Amino acid sequence: MNNDDRSSRPLSASRRLFLQRTSLLTGMIALGGGSYLYNPKGVWAAAPIKVGIATDLTGAISWGGIPNSQVAKMVIDQINKGGGLLGRPLQMILEDTATNEQLAVTKVRKLVTQDKVDVVFGGITSSMRNAIKDTIVNRGKTLYIYPQLYEGKECTPYLFCTGPTPAQQCDTLIPWLIKNGGKKFYLPSADYVWPHTLNAYARKAIVKNGGEVIGEEYFPVDHNEYSATVNKIMSSGVNVVFNTTIPPGVAAFFKQLYEAGFLKNGGRLSCVYYDENAITITPPHEVEGLASCLDYFRAINDPFGNQLQAEYGKLFGNTSYNAGSGSTGMYRGIKLWEAAVKEAKSVNREPVAAALDHAKISDGPGGGCEMVPGTRHVKMNMYTAVSKGGKYEIVEKSKGPVMPGECA
């Protein structure tokens, strides 16, 4: 068979095309490509302070990452409108970590080595935080602020956490649950670090308050069949189901629990990551009476929170604003960092970290908050809320800010 003839003529044409494309790509490499650079508006005398935001804009966690990035943009624009920081504007550089730890490391590397940002905010899941923290903090020698509710125990120097910890979520909630639900608890959970660690803390709190843990079970996150567990719950007189299964499995679990009649029999459901956005995952009747404990709910109805929410809504329309996390934690993180930079009068890591260690802000979603010195975690107000007809009602506010109880 004569293949040579067919291939030698188009060869030169496609080879030329290939070379053209290569030189174009080489050009792009040299220029560094594009990225999502949010330049400060207006004319400024001084060079910008670079703020890196690394969050999941695509992939399974995009529901959290997109609000994160939007809150960050809103706050940074607010700061710039107010004259910037130390007379310099803030420039936001946004990178998508794509819920893919492999890709995330490269993105974060870009922020730290190529863009040379002065601080990085981001990461949502603990696995993402663990994947990128080394590149930022050790290899990149940059400050890292993690805004999400998580399991605690993150005590890496120069890594500050502004989301609720297990202690904050359980210390006020568990006593309330025992008073308003019952003494017998069941802990159905997703099988990864956060539920394990949260359950360990919750168990201690439950026992301390006179309750009893009937069972603790772990499932893969996409597990759909919970009949065995529901059966156990119904037959052992459990009063409170302290749930830490997460989407997608949680929808099936709540439905199967409801259909077995748990709520009808007076059972109380509790889920500490269920904020006003998560509640849409399940129909209202399946989560009637669900108790959650977070740092913010729209239902708090305080003027500062309302105004923030309104501004966010004006800029970003119908997109969600997540509590306990990204949105509130991101707000807190950026404002605390701003306060620290003002105190340190510099953006270098050492002085800012020292100032951030005891930074406080007087206003924020759910109220002001303050870093607990030496721990790199934030003490904040916690609110217990109950779902009625698909909407949250605040039933208890913590008496003052709750300690995070981490890295003491």
Of residues 88-147, those binding other proteins (CB under 8 A): 94, 96, 98, 100-103, 105-107, 109-110, 113-114, 125-127, 130-131, 133-135, 138-139
Q: What are the two backbone dihedrals, phi and then psi, of residue 93, each rounded to the nearest 5 degrees?
A: -115, 115
63 or 304: CB nearest other proteins: 63
| Host H or E run for residue 203 | helix 193-208
Contact set for other proteins, span 223-252 (CB under 8 A): 223-225, 227-228, 230-231, 247-248, 250-252
Q: Select the span of 58-66, 301-309, 355-363, 391-399 touching other proteins (CB under 8 A).
A: 58-66
CB of 198 to other proteins, least distance (A): 14
Binding-site size, other proteins (CB under 8 A)? 90
Contact set for other proteins, span 272-311 (CB under 8 A): 277-278, 280-283, 285
Residue 60 engages other proteins in binding (rule: CB under 8 A): yes
Which amino acid makes up residue 236? S
> Distances from the Cα of 406 to the Cαs of 2, 111, 150, 347, in angstroms?
74, 28, 11, 26
CB of 188 to other proteins, least distance (A): 10
Contact set for other proteins, span 167-206 (CB under 8 A): 191-193, 196
Which position among 142, 320, 328, 398 is part of the footprint of other proteins (CB under 8 A)? 320
Which position among 4, 45, 82, 210 is part of the footprint of other proteins (CB under 8 A)? 4
- What is the 3-state composition of the chain as percent helix, strand, coil, each rounded to the nearest 5? 45, 20, 35
Which position among 53, 62, 344, 387 is part of the footprint of other proteins (CB under 8 A)? 62
Long-range contacts of 335-340 (CB under 8 A, 24+ apart): 335/75, 335/361, 335/364, 336/145, 336/160, 336/162, 336/360, 336/361, 336/369, 336/371, 336/378, 337/119, 337/143, 337/145, 338/79, 338/85
CB of 86 to other proteins, least distance (A): 27
Q: CA Rg, the chain, in Å? A: 24
CA 192 – CA 174 distance, rounded (Å): 22
